[in-house]
């Protein structure tokens, strides 16, 4: 099996849109930024300089980048961390970010995994182990999966609250 392209390559090839759906309440708890945040240390968004550069370059070419997060409420400690760094990381880089309480997502058909969808045609499936650590991703252009991911993202996006208006509780 060929190695999955890097995010830099995926975004470089992207022409119109990149959307990301996140549905977990915790990710890599070994992430140094999360550990620093838990310890009360200030988080410098520049630590994600490569990501900010990838997103910024894509947005400057006209690529619309949207991220939607479906979260349990009250939110987990990890989601509180994500919320706290979103403005300085994701939004500052050029992403549009929205949040949806899991309680409000009951009527939405969601895929079993987080994903990125590039130009409504290529799905990069994120896989994680039980502790939230990333495992081998999956890339597909399967029409059924693309359709499911696109409709799920748009349904979440339609109901979700913009970052600036979402209340973490």
Number of domains in the chain: 1
Q: For 74-102, what is each residue's pLDDT tens digit? A: 999 999 999 999 999 999 999 999 999 99
Angle subtended at Cα 104 by Cα 100 and Cα 108, rounded to the nearest 5 degrees: 95
What pLDDT does 1 receive? 46
What is the DSSP secondary-structure string of the chain? Answer: -PPPPPHHHHHHH--SEEEEEE--S---TT-HHHHHHHTT----GGGGHHHHHHHHHHHHTT-EEEEEEEE-SSPPHHHHHHHHHHIIIIIHHT-EEEEEEGGGGTTS---SSEEEEETTTEEEEE-B-TTS-B---EEE--HHHHHHHHHHHHHHHHHPEEGGGPPP-
Question: Is residue 2 one of the residues assigned to a domain?
Answer: no
Rounded to two decimals, the pTM is 0.95
Task: Provide the residue range defining the domain that includes 58.
Answer: 7-165
CATH of the domain at 158: 3.30.870.10
Q: For 19-64, what is each residue's pLDDT tens digit? A: 999 999 999 989 999 999 999 998 888 889 999 999 999 999 999 9
Question: Is residue 1 one of the residues assigned to a domain?
Answer: no
Q: What Rg, from alpha-carbon coordinates, does the chain have?
A: 15
What pLDDT does 3 receive? 75
**162 bridge partner residues:** 98
Distance CA 133, CA 59 (A): 28
At residue 4, does pLDDT exceed 90? no
Distance CA 28, CA 78 (A): 9
Question: Is residue 155 one of the residues assigned to a domain?
Answer: yes
- Percent of the chain exceeding pLDDT 70 equals 99
Q: For the chain, what is the mean pLDDT?
A: 95
Distance CA 16, CA 62 (A): 7
Question: Is residue 50 one of the residues assigned to a domain?
Answer: yes
Question: Is residue 98 one of the residues assigned to a domain?
Answer: yes
Most confident of 1-10, 11-20, 35-44: 11-20
pLDDT-based confidence at 2, cuts 50/70/90?
Answer: low
């Amino acid at each position: 099996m060929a190695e999955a392209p890097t995010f830099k390559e995926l975004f470089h090839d992207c022409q119109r849109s990149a959307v990301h759906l996140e549905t977990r309440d915790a990710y890599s708890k070994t992430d140094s930024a999360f550990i620093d945040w838990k310890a009360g240390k200030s988080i410098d968004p520049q630590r994600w300089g490569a990501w900010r550069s990838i997103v910024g370059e894509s947005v400057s070419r006209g690529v619309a980048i949207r991220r939607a997060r479906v979260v349990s409420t009250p939110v987990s400690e990890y989601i509180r961390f994500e919320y706290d760094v979103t403005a300085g990381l994701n939004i500052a880089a050029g992403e549009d970010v929205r949040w949806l309480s899991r309680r409000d997502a009951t009527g939405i058909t969601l895929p079993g995994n987080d994903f990125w969808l590039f130009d409504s045609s290529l799905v990069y499936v994120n896989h994680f182990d039980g502790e939230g650590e990333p495992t081998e991703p999956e890339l597909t252009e399967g029409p059924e999966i693309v359709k499911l991911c696109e409709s799920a993202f748009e349904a979440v996006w339609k109901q979700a609250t913009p970052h600036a208006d979402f209340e973490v509780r």
